[in-house]
Structure 1
Amino acid sequence: MAPHDDQPEVKVEAMASEALNKPISTIVIFIAMHTEALPLVNRFQLQEDHDSVFPKGVPWVRYHGMYKDLHLNIVQPGKDPVLGVDSVGTVSASLVIYATIQALKPDLVINAGTAGGFKAKGAAIGDVFLASEVAFHDRRIPIPVFDLYGVGLRQAFSASNILKELNLKIGRLSTGDSLDMSAQDEASITANDATVKDMEGAAIAYVAELLKVPIIFLKAVTDIVDGDKPTAEEFLNNLTAVTATLDETVAKAIDFLNGKCLLEI
């Protein structure tokens, strides 16, 4: 009789250990808006992929290239084909990151972008947060267990050394498909104990967990949600300056990641 294979859970643990100790090679950076992505594309001299790994006809965009020992990929949902605006929100984000992970098999996903922050939780314009956990605030399903599914609380990959090296702030991220905040959203965000809010993070976290890829979140604050200025106005006024801060932070993170394995970040 042939010898039995190792127990399945032993194999899984061995594979997980190998992945954690392997030098990071391929990184995918998901950024929702072109304005946020362009400084990084230019900084790392990435080229647009014209022989796309994505399905024919979709507006999704990929820039790629080598930086030191890293294969860098920046992916975006691109412009809405009808309205010509950035395809922000959870639907586009989840589709793009699913297709990207399937095609490129990255060692690490980084979701970088701008976000609203709460001054009551210590956020200020220009702060960059590393998200500890992510959740939804607009998927309200008041049925036992379905309510937890709706919130979809997930932990980000622990990146304590990046946190220290870049002197970042840390806090929970809450995701919804609206830029503004209704009273119901506010109650859910408070329940999520969130410091920052965005329109993509929790959806990307769902896909990354599904496909077993580690993910970290770098979110730069453009507007104070619980402040006295209109959110849209404050966001647009601060977008350029805060995007520059985000660019610097992501660049430092990439430099830090070069030559390291997941256990070292």
Structure 2
Amino acid sequence: MTLPQDIPSSAEDYMDSQTHSNRPISSILIIIAMQTEALPLVEKFQLSEDHNSVFPKEVPWVRYHGMYKDLQINLIWPGKDSALGVDSVGTISASLVTYASIQALQPDLIINAGTAGGFKAKGASIGDVFLVSECAFHDRRIPIPVFDLYGVGLKQALKTPNLLAGLDLKVGKLSTGDSLDMSVQDEASIIANDATVKDMEGAAVAYVADMFKVPAIFVKAVTDIVDGEKPTAEEFLQNLATVSAALDEAVTQVIHFISGKCIHEL
């Protein structure tokens, strides 16, 4: 991987700059799992695809980049699976992309944006957009003391009280697993996580972001009601395009708000 020239020369220098700097945010890394979710933002911010990739040539990951006001935006989509041609969704792709993107691009802030299932019992409706307060896994069950906590992997999102006050977004907890459907065991874990929304990437992004102490926020738009009457896959596909537009608008508002601000001002 090649590194941009204007980043600190070592990981320690980078972490020090993140911890102690009061400078305005200048670099945002947006991680989005699906092309349908990503392309509206690519068009909105007139981002260009990077054909001289900062990533190894073997991976399908796609980087779009550009400037918006004073912000360098890097949007990373994990691309299509090379064998099956579908979006590379799930925690493995999400964690690998997050790790490689932090190393190559060293952002000030990560935004993990995407669609999610919502729970009507927790107040979620189709098209609602949530700013996530914390992330956890629901399919890493390790019933051994302390390992059980590791399996849940609870991570806090960056606290953004001013962002919440300025935008019309709901707040909820996110639970992540590698299946679109929900087994009985998953349901019990999701309830234990007190989750309002569920996805297939968020907690994996949070795990890597926390490892490198990069602030991260999570914006999730509801495509399907998990505890509703319609089959999840059918409802997800039915609403994906419409809800992706709502996600696009919410992320646009978030980026507008971030421009010119420091992390502690969010």
TM range (shorter): over 0.9
1:111 aligns with 2:112: yes
Please give the alpha-carbon distance, in whole angstroms, between the structure 2 residues aligned to 1:194 and 1:264: 27
Which residues of structure 1 form unaligned runs of 5+?
Answer: 1-10
Q: How do residues 60-75 of structure 1 correspond to structure 2 at under 5 angstroms?
A: 60-75=61-76
User: What's the counterpart of residue 256 of structure 1?
Assistant: 257
User: What's the counterpart of residue 127 of structure 1?
Assistant: 128
User: What's the counterpart of residue 233 of structure 1?
Assistant: 234
User: What's the counterpart of residue 145 of structure 2?
Assistant: 144
Instruction: For 1:77, give the aligned amino acid.
Output: P
User: What's the counterpart of residue 158 of structure 2?
Assistant: 157
Please give the alpha-carbon distance, in whole angstroms, between the structure 2 residues aligned to 1:160 and 1:116: 24
Q: How do residues 206-245 of structure 1 correspond to structure 2 at under 5 angstroms?
A: 206-245=207-246
1:160: Cα distance to partner? Answer: 1.4
| Structure 1 residues 40 and 58, CA gap change in structure 2 (3 angstroms) | same
TM-score (norm 1): 0.94
1:177: Cα distance to partner? Answer: 0.1
1:18 aligns with 2:49: no
Instruction: For 1:39, give the aligned amino acid.
Output: P
1:159: Cα distance to partner? Answer: 1.1
User: What's the counterpart of residue 173 of structure 1?
Assistant: 174
What is the SS of the residue equivalent to 1:57?
Answer: coil
With 43-52 and 155-164 compared, the bigger mean Cα shift is at 155-164
Please give the alpha-carbon distance, in whole angstroms, between the structure 1 residues aligned to 2:111 and 2:134: 14
1:22: Cα distance to partner? Answer: 1.6
1:163: Cα distance to partner? Answer: 1.3
User: What's the counterpart of residue 36 of structure 1?
Assistant: 37
RMSD, aligned α-carbons: 1.5
Give CA deviations for 1:181-239 in whole Å, capped at 9, x if unaligned.
00000000000000000000000000000111000000000000000000000000111
Which structure has the bigger radius of gyration? 1
User: What's the counterpart of residue 9 of structure 2?
Assistant: none
What is the SS of the residue equivalent to 1:55?
Answer: coil
Please give the alpha-carbon distance, in whole angstroms, between the structure 1 residues aligned to 2:19 and 2:85: 44
User: What's the counterpart of residue 89 of structure 1?
Assistant: 90
| Structure 1 residues 88 and 143, CA gap change in structure 2 (3 angstroms) | same
Instruction: For 1:183, give the aligned amino acid.
Output: V
Contact 2:15 2:212 in 1 (8 A): no
Which residues of structure 2 form unaligned runs of 5+?
Answer: 1-12
User: What's the counterpart of residue 189 of structure 2?
Assistant: 188
Contact 2:129 2:220 in 1 (8 A): yes
Give CA deviations for 1:27-82 in whole Å, capped at 9, x if unaligned.
00000000000000001000000110001121000000001000001001100000
Instruction: For 2:123, give the aligned amino acid.
Output: G
1:18: Cα distance to partner? Answer: 2.4
Please give the alpha-carbon distance, in whole angstroms, between the structure 2 residues aligned to 1:55 and 1:263: 34
Instruction: For 2:166, give the aligned amino acid.
Output: E
Please give the alpha-carbon distance, in whole angstroms, between the structure 2 residues aligned to 1:101 and 1:107: 9
The count of aligned residue pairs is 254
**Runs of 4+ residues over 4 Å off in structure 1:** 11-17
Please give the alpha-carbon distance, in whole angstroms, between the structure 2 residues aligned to 1:122 and 1:17: 36
User: What's the counterpart of residue 3 of structure 1?
Assistant: none
Instruction: For 2:175, give the aligned amino acid.
Output: S
1:16: Cα distance to partner? Answer: 5.5
What is the SS of the residue equivalent to 2:196?
Answer: strand
What is the SS of the residue equivalent to 1:194?
Answer: coil
Contact 2:172 2:197 in 1 (8 A): yes
